[in-house]
Structure 1
Amino acid sequence: MSGAEGFDYRTRTNGEVHIFHHGKLAKMLRERPAEDFLAAVKDGDAQEAMAAAVGNDGQGGGVQGSATGPGTHLHGNGAAHPHQEFRRKSG
């Protein structure tokens, strides 16, 4: 049995592949990456192929490359909006 688990994927009629991890969308693939993924699933371990496509291959860290992709906070990595201190008005 492989180390990766909890992955599932679905294909759409337009060729997109949606990869889910524990029921949540983790990655969406289109065109050539989707075709490569489907070939990897057909030829090998589906859980390992999904983990590699999402970037969760046991090497630590989250998905790289996108500030709003899975593995980052809901609204990005905070680079565009730095932390602000808010004060209450008194009186």
Structure 2
Amino acid sequence: MSAEGFDYRTRTNGEVHIFHHGKLAKMLKDEPAQSFLSSVKDGDAQAVMAAAVGNDGQGGGVHGSAQGPGAHLHGNGSAHSPQQFRRKSG
């Protein structure tokens, strides 16, 4: 079984956010983030991302929690456009 459905984004502050099927699965900072980026360049990106989040085919999977880190994020934002709200008069 090969890993699939992973994607990652880098931020200007050096953080790496790994997504699985559009949901945040792991956030890396500092040395772990740099090591991850190096590994992605040298190997199978999907396998590296699966190993980074703990979904390396050894059972289990990527699970989220409403209280976990990144619970306030909803995917990577590419599917949602900004909404503009107007104040009701009256």
Query: Percent identity, aligned pairs only?
Result: 75
Higher Rg of the two aligned structures: 1
CA contact (8 A) 2:25 2:64 kept: no
Unaligned runs of 5+ in 2: 69-90
Q: Distance in 1 between matches of 2:21 and 2:49?
A: 12
Q: Distance in 2 between matches of 1:10 and 1:20?
A: 8
Root-mean-square deviation over aligned CA pairs: 1.8
The one-letter amino acid of 1:53's match is A
The one-letter amino acid of 2:66's match is L
Q: How many residue pairs end up in the alignment? A: 68
Q: Distance in 2 between matches of 1:8 and 1:75?
A: 22
The one-letter amino acid of 2:42's match is D
Pick 1 or 2: higher relative contact order, CA cutoff 8 A, min separation 6.
2
Unaligned runs of 5+ in 1: 63-69, 77-91
The one-letter amino acid of 1:74's match is A
Q: Distance in 1 between matches of 2:29 and 2:65?
A: 23
Task: For residue 60 of structure 1, report the CA deviation from its aligned partner.
Answer: 1.3
Structure 1 runs of 4+ off > 3 angstroms? none
Cross-structure match for 2:21: 22
3-state secondary structure, aligned to 1:18: strand
What's the TM-score, normalizing by structure 2?
A: 0.68
